[in-house]
Amino acid sequence: MLKPIKGNPGRFLDTASGQVLNIAEYREDDKYDSIYLPGADDGSITIDFGAQYIFFRDIMTKRPIDTNFTQPSRLSAGEEMVVDRIGLYPRHCISSGGEIVDDDIASDIVRVVENGFFRVNVNSILLAEGPAFKFPSGYGIGGYSHDTPSTGIGVPSTAAAAKLVKTQVLTSRHEVVGYLIFHDHDWILSEAKCPATAIHPLYLLGEPGMIVTAFLHGLIKSAVNK
Which pLDDT does position 74 carry in this prediction?
97
Domain holding 179, by residue range, is: 27-225
Q: Domain for residue 17, yes or no? A: no
Q: Domain for residue 80, yes or no? A: yes
Q: Domain for residue 20, yes or no? A: no
Q: Domain for residue 33, yes or no? A: yes
Give the closest residue to 162 by CA, choosing from 84, 97, 59.
84
Burial of 174 (0-12, 13-18, 19+ CB in 10 A): middle
Which pLDDT does position 135 carry in this prediction?
96
Domain total for the chain?
A: 1
Q: Residues 95, 178, 171, 26: is their CA dihedral positive or negative?
A: positive
Which pLDDT does position 83 carry in this prediction?
95
Q: Domain for residue 216, yes or no? A: yes
- The model's pTM: 0.83
Q: Could you say which residues of the chain have pLDDT below 50?
A: 225-226
Q: Domain for residue 112, yes or no? A: yes
Q: Domain for residue 3, yes or no? A: no
Give the closest residue to 103 by CA, choosing from 45, 145, 142.
145
Q: Domain for residue 130, yes or no? A: yes
